[in-house]
A and B are shown apart, each in its own frame.
Chain A
Amino acid sequence: MNWEAFWLTVRLAAIVSTLLIAIGIPIAYWLTYSRWRWKFLLEAAVALPIVLPPTVLGFYVLVALGSRSPLGRWWESLTGHTLAFTFEGLVIGSLLYSLPFAVQPFAASFGAVDSSLLRASASLGHSPLQTFRRIVLPLSKAGLVTGFALSFAHTLGEFGVVLMVGGNIPGVTRTISIDIYDQVQTANYSSANQTALVLLIISFLVLSIVYGANRRPWAVGPWR
């Protein structure tokens, strides 16, 4: 069991899923309430990482982070080194990779809030943003937990994007799934088995949290 890779992966997943709460909520808000006719294009873009091969996503992220892209140059001028093959680069790649797993549960739970509550809130003098904070967010707790947990679990197990963007640098970008791959490559099956089992148990626990949180989403609602 490679604890260095394990803790690196957990740290990555925790950072990514926390950032995705901050990034995902505004995106989900916009996707839920916007009446823009081309909204579906953004919906499709957000969902892309679900269907795209991780290597494809990873390739584009690598290009975008490299020193030939504006982003890569800007980062280089700021820090003196490139984003590719660093932990920060890994975070950016994982944010994109796990985005739909946060945004979609968020948007679904925002959309499930009874619209008459929003209308009542407006008639009681609350702006749309105040209504969102005081009515929509508290009633979307289950969706927020789901989005956080799913993006956490999804980041935990990523392989392709990490390999493309981060390479395989111990202590910097070697995550747990790459570690398992390495161990299998060197025929170290018992160690691979151990690590795989840990990943399996964690994933199961996270999904249990998701389904537990969604068990009675309307337990306090009057519409049962």
Chain B
Amino acid sequence: MTTTTTQPISADVEVRIRKRFPNPEGSFNLNVHFRALAGFTILFGASGAGKTTLLDCIAGLTDPDEGRIAVGGDDLYDSEKKRNVAAWKRRIGYVHQNLALFPHLTAEQNVAYGLRTLSAAERQTRSREMFEAFRIEHLRDRRPAQISGGERQRVALARALVTEPRALLLDEPLAALDRPTKSSLVGDLRRWNQHHRVPILFVTHNGEEVFALGDEVIVLDAGIIVAQGQPHEVMRSPRLETVAHLSGFENIFDATVLALHEARGTMACRLGNGEVELETPLVRAEVGSHLRVGVRAGDLLLATESPRGLSARNVLPGTIRRLEQRDVIVSAMVDCGGTEFEVHLTPAARDALQLGLGKAVWVVVKTHSCHLMGM
């Protein structure tokens, strides 16, 4: 295994572990191998995919069955060398999903908790700095029960960061926050990490957070890494169906390649067994081969008359089979010659077009809204 110990700063997390763990659907194997560099690495996946188990292994709160975990080239766990550093000696910051603030201590005592080895004066200086950086000075003397949700998150982060950990593990720390609170917290966290440059492993099952945060994303499914790379590579053109579902592709179709138009950079695909043909971006594929096409419901347009003079290459006639409102989104199921498309639009658009069940419509699909995935 090569490491970067030759470089002056080798802040990285190397993980190669296998662990059998139970989940509601029986037990399965967490089997991962990756390296996370300084900066944000997102661990993305549905619940039960093994994300929290993975963090627990890195933090030393649970033992893998076998493998190796190293931070900055320093072995924390190695089943071959029978090495297993105790959690409290690992110097890895971990913010749990429920934050786990100590209820009997004030915010200041919580933050100073990890500075056990320092003098009282130094403890106070360090934690005050942290309170300033995370803009929570006014909470110093309050207990967790007297602090609001978003601010509690800040205290938990400050408590983990003040110890200057070698790596930071965050288990859905933003899950319960509204968007403005989220982005200001992320801003503070980024600023902190510009100075410290540690690897931050960030667990989420929210696709939006992947784009907002990630330098790198690792997609976990049933304990296995199914995709890894920059968020835009992995999420925008998902080549795997699990990624597609997670990143919000409502429409996923089996497709057969009918013809390749090399000059135009496109190809024609037939969807399923129906008669619908789509023009999609060209990928390395042969005529007659089978692929999958993913299309976001929000990328589709609806028209009540056959549209003309459009740049979009795919205009498919169909009939509305179902129409339901979820929150501020109207979801329409449109049957186009045996293939059903889910289309999202606003309630205002529904009213303006006077959409209803059985109404004849045209679905407009831009070529580059079609994302091709392997089978």
Contacts and interface: CB of A to CB of B under 8 A. Distances in A.
B114 interface: yes
Given A125-B163, A220-B103, A120 B96 contact: yes
Given A221-B145, A222-B152, A122 B87 contact: yes
Interface in B76-113: 86-94, 96, 98-104, 113
B144 interface: yes
Contact of B88 (A117, A123, A218): A123
A116 B101 CA distance: 9
Nearest to A120: B100
Given A117-B102, A222-B103, A222-B144, A123 B59 contact: yes
B94 A120 contact: yes
Contacts of B93: 123
A126 B90 CA distance: 11
Given A117-B102, A220-B103, A125 B114 contact: yes
Interface string A205-224: 00000000000001011101
Given A122-B88, A125-B91, A221 B103 contact: yes
Interface string A47-76: 000000000000000000000000000000
Contacts of A220: 103-104, 143-145
A127 B96 contact: no
Nearest to A220: B103
Interface string A158-194: 0000000000000000000000000000000000000
A15 B100 CA distance: 38
Given A123-B59, A125-B88, A222-B103, A116 B96 contact: yes
Most buried by B among A117, A120, A122, A135: A120
B179 interface: no
B91 A116 contact: no
A119 to B, nearest CB: 5
Contacts of A224: 145
Contacts, number: 80
Contacts of B102: 117, 120-121, 135
A4 interface: no
Contacts of B104: 138-139, 220
B160 A125 contact: no
A114 B96 CA distance: 12
A77 interface: no
B195 interface: no
A135 B152 CA distance: 18
Contacts of B92: 123
B159 interface: yes
A117 B100 CA distance: 5
A2 interface: no
Most buried by A among B61, B88, B163: B88
Contacts of B91: 125
Contacts of B308: none
B116 interface: yes
A116 B100 contact: yes
B92 to A, nearest CB: 6
A117 B96 CA distance: 9
Contacts of A122: 59-61, 86-88
B88 A127 contact: yes
A110 to B, nearest CB: 14
Contacts of B145: 220-222, 224
Contacts of A120: 94, 96, 100-102
B123 to A, nearest CB: 13
Contacts of B60: 122
A123 B94 contact: yes
Q: Which 10 A-B pairs have the closest CB atoms?
A: A124-B114, A120-B100, A116-B100, A123-B94, A122-B87, A122-B88, A220-B103, A221-B103, A222-B144, A138-B104
29 contacts: A116-B98, A117-B102, A119-B59, A119-B61, A119-B87, A119-B94, A119-B100, A120-B94, A120-B96, A121-B113, A122-B87, A123-B61, A123-B92, A123-B93, A123-B160, A124-B114, A124-B116, A124-B160, A125-B91, A125-B117, A126-B88, A126-B113, A127-B88, A131-B88, A135-B102, A220-B103, A220-B144, A220-B145, A222-B152
Given A126-B116, A135-B102, 10 more contacts: A119-B87, A119-B94, A122-B59, A123-B59, A123-B88, A123-B94, A123-B160, A125-B89, A222-B145, A224-B145
Interface of B: 59-61, 86-94, 96, 98-104, 113-114, 116-117, 143-145, 152, 159-160, 163
